Copies of this chain bind each other. A is one copy, B any other.
Amino acid sequence: MTDRPHPLEGSSETVADRLALAIHEHRIPPGAKLNEDEVGEIFGVSRTVVRTALQHLAHDHLVTLRRNRGAFVAQPTVREAREVFEARALLEPRTARSAADRATPDDLARLETHIAAEHAALAAGDPGRALRLSGLFHIEIARIADQTTIAGFITQLVARSSLIIALYWHRRNALCESHAHHALLKALADHDGKRAEDLMKGHLLDLVSSLDLRNTEPLARSLKEALARP
């Protein structure tokens, strides 16, 4: 009942957003094929708009477009995974510092809401939604820093991080996340830029350390393991 095949709603961005959300919440696994006709029928739109949406997602590295093959949910390599988090390490700590200087009570309230919703999603057994909200927390900080350009980059990096987590997640330490976010919020509330910067840096390092980035290939996870011992 919640998801009816809408006859036609608005534009291609809606389709892109819906697809991105599904990918972000791990409802569509990495490597999954996104058939144009199928997606078009689901959303009640033509292939034209689906193609536009897929190209949009491809530009954000959420899907991979292979010529005459179709669109697939991206499977970041370990190299890409490292690059994504190195980029985040360059962008986010300094942005968090700026956010600490500019955060208004309204901003802090919104962040608090995010954290609460994240907890609620976890309690409700919806880790995908919790992960999504966790990412929105980072994006919101960039927005508070009043840097829409950087916020755009972080949005992209968070989206890719979601795929990376889907592929390379190892430790089951969900508590770390929420606690780190809470500490970060406190630093922002205190307008302690230096602390916010350090906390963000550490938080990102924790995230990377919770991944298993030893393998060489992402599809090795489904291929090499299959023929590990011949």
Q: Across the interface, name the chain B residue whose C-beta is closest to A86.
A: B147
Least distance between A142 CB and chain B CB atoms (Å)? 11
Residue among B56, B83, B95 making CB contact with A59, cutoff 8 Å: B56
Binds B, one of A17-25, A102-110, A148-156, A179-187: A148-156
**Chain A 67-102 interface mask (CB, 8 Å, partner B; 1/0):** 000000000000010011011001100110000000
State whether A150 touches B59 (Cβ < 8 A).
no
Residue among B55, B90, B147, B153 making CB contact with A56, cutoff 8 Å: B55
Q: How far is the CA of A153 from the CA of B60 in the complex (A)?
A: 11
Chain A positions within 8 Å of B, measured between CB atoms, are 51-52, 55-56, 59, 80, 83-84, 86-87, 90-91, 94-95, 147-150, 153, 157
> 16 other contacts beyond A80-B148, A80-B149, A90-B90, with CB at 8 A cut-off?
A51-B52, A52-B52, A52-B55, A55-B55, A56-B59, A83-B147, A83-B148, A84-B149, A86-B147, A87-B150, A90-B91, A90-B95, A90-B150, A91-B91, A149-B157, A153-B153
Tell me which residues across on chain B come within 8 A of A157, comparing CB atoms.
Answer: 149
Q: How far is the CA of A84 from the CA of B150 in the complex (A)?
A: 8
Tell me which residues across on chain B come within 8 A of A153, comparing CB atoms.
Answer: 87, 153
Q: Across the interface, name the chain B residue whose C-beta is closest to A84.
A: B149
State whether B55 touches A87 (Cβ < 8 A).
no
Tell me which residues across on chain B come within 8 A of A86, comparing CB atoms.
Answer: 147, 149-150
State whether A149 touches B87 (Cβ < 8 A).
yes
State whether B52 touches A83 (Cβ < 8 A).
no
Tell me which residues across on chain B come within 8 A of A95, comparing CB atoms.
Answer: 90
Least distance between A21 CB and chain B CB atoms (Å)? 19
Q: How far is the CA of A147 from the CA of B81 in the complex (A)?
A: 11
Q: How far is the CA of A91 from the CA of B91 in the complex (A)?
A: 7
Tell me which residues across on chain B come within 8 A of A91, comparing CB atoms.
Answer: 87, 90-91
| From A56, A149, A157, residue with most partner B Cβ within 10 Å | A149
Tell me which residues across on chain B come within 8 A of A56, comparing CB atoms.
Answer: 55, 59
Q: How far is the CA of A86 from the CA of B147 in the complex (A)?
A: 9
State whether B94 touches A150 (Cβ < 8 A).
no
Least distance between A87 CB and chain B CB atoms (Å)? 5
State whether B83 touches A90 (Cβ < 8 A).
no
